Chain A
Amino acid sequence: MENRPLEYDYTVTKMFMFTTIALGIVGMLIGVILAFQLAYPGLNLMLGEGLAEYTNFSRLRPLHTDAVIFGFTLSGIFATWYYVGQRVLKVSMAESKLLMFLGKLHFWLYIITVVAVVISLFAGVTTSKEYAEFEWPIDIAIVVVWVLFGMSIFGLIGIRREKSLYISVWYYIATFLGIAMLYLFNNMEIPTIMASAPDGSHVGGNWWHSISMYAGTNDALVQWWYGHNAVAFGFTVPIVAMIYYFLPKESGQAIYSYKLSLLSFWGLMFLYLWAGGHHLLYSTVPDWMQTMGSIFSVILILPSWGSAINMLLTMKGEWQQVAASPLIKFMILASTFYMFSTLEGPIQAIKSVNAIAHFTDWIVGHVHDGVLGWVGFMIMAALFHMAPRVFKREIYSKSLMTSQFWIQTLGVVLYFTSMWIAGITQGMMWRAHDEFGNLAYSFIDTVTVLHPYYTIRGVGGLLYLVGFFMFAYNIYKTMSARPVEESELQSASPMGA
Chain B
Amino acid sequence: MFHWLEKHPFFFSVGVFLVIAFAGLVEILPSFAQASRPVIGTKPYSILETTGRQIYIKNSCNACHSQLIRPFKSETDRYGHYSLSGEYAYDRPFLWGSKRTGPDLMRVGNYRTTDWHESHMKDPSGVVPGSVMPAYRWMYSNIADIPTAYAEQLTNAQFFSVPYNEPIPMKDGTTEVVKMANNVTDAHAMALAEAKEIAVDMKDQNVKDAVARGEIPEIVALIAYLNSLK
Contacts and interface: CB of A to CB of B under 8 A. Distances in A.
Contacts of A269: 16, 19-20
A41 B132 contact: yes
A215 B92 contact: yes
A431 B73 CA distance: 8
Contacts of A173: 9, 12-13, 16
A447 interface: yes
A170 B61 CA distance: 39
A283 to B, nearest CB: 6
Contacts of A163: 7
A154 interface: yes
Given A41-B133, A58-B61, A61-B63, A195 B159 contact: yes
Contacts of A197: 150, 154, 182-184
B203 interface: no
A41 B83 CA distance: 31
B94 A217 contact: yes
Given A124-B58, A212-B93, A432-B74, A205 B16 contact: no
Contacts of A193: 151
Contacts of A44: 134-135
B64 interface: yes
B92 A126 contact: no
Interface stretch (B95-103, B171-179, B191-199, B219-227): B95-103
Main secondary structure on chain B at its contact with chain A?
Answer: helix
Interface string B75-107: 101100001111111111111111111110000
Interface in A277-294: 277, 279, 282-286, 289, 292
Interface in A403-456: 430-433, 438-439, 443-444, 447-448, 454
B83 A283 contact: yes
A125 B152 CA distance: 15
A384 interface: no
B145 A58 contact: no
B31 A286 contact: yes
B60 interface: yes
Most buried by A among B63, B86, B102, B182: B63
Interface in A258-301: 262, 266, 269-270, 272-274, 276-277, 279, 282-286, 289, 292
A380 to B, nearest CB: 27
Given A37-B134, A41-B132, A270-B23, 13 more contacts: A38-B132, A58-B63, A173-B9, A178-B20, A192-B155, A204-B151, A209-B151, A218-B31, A225-B24, A266-B2, A285-B85, A358-B70, A430-B74
Interface of B: 2-3, 6-7, 9, 12-13, 16-17, 19-24, 27-28, 31-32, 35-36, 57-64, 66, 68, 70-75, 77-78, 83-103, 125, 128-138, 142, 145, 147-152, 154-160, 182-185
